Amino acid sequence: MPSGRAGGSRLARFVGLAAYEARGGAVRRNLFAEDGGDDGVYLDDPVPLQVLVTEKLRALAEEVCAEGWAWVACVTEGDGLALRCYGQASQQRRDDTRGGGGTGGHGGRVRPI
């Protein structure tokens, strides 16, 4: 098995192969890899990939904070055990304070990240 992270990994897809290469990341391609595809592409240098992921997540976190959220965490790896440290908020019924018509206070806007 080749060393390095596969070009089709979730982190590589998140930042994009072009951005990784532009940052100076080394890429190896399988001789039989199809052009434009992620199969047979390996990212040899994890540092530029992790830096790009962190920068992109922080930029998205700033956008989310600007929407009024008080806290945002940028996590690339985790499991159920890691999430337990955050605890679980008790559910409470509350009045809509932003006129969202009973949509939980966010006006019906749900923005995937």
Q: Where are the domains of the chain?
A: 5-85
Per DSSP, 106 falls in state S
Average pLDDT on 65-92 reads: 81
Q: Are 17 and 38 in contact (CB under 8 A)?
A: yes
Q: Is 99 exposed, middle or buried (0-12, 13-18, 19+ CB in 10 A)?
A: exposed
Per DSSP, 27 falls in state E
Between 105 and 7, residue with greater pLDDT? 7
Is residue 26 scored above 70 in pLDDT? yes
DSSP 3-state of 111: coil
pTM, whole model, 2 decimals? Answer: 0.64
Between 59 and 84, residue with greater pLDDT? 59
Beta bridge partners of 27: 43
Is residue 106 scored above 70 in pLDDT? no
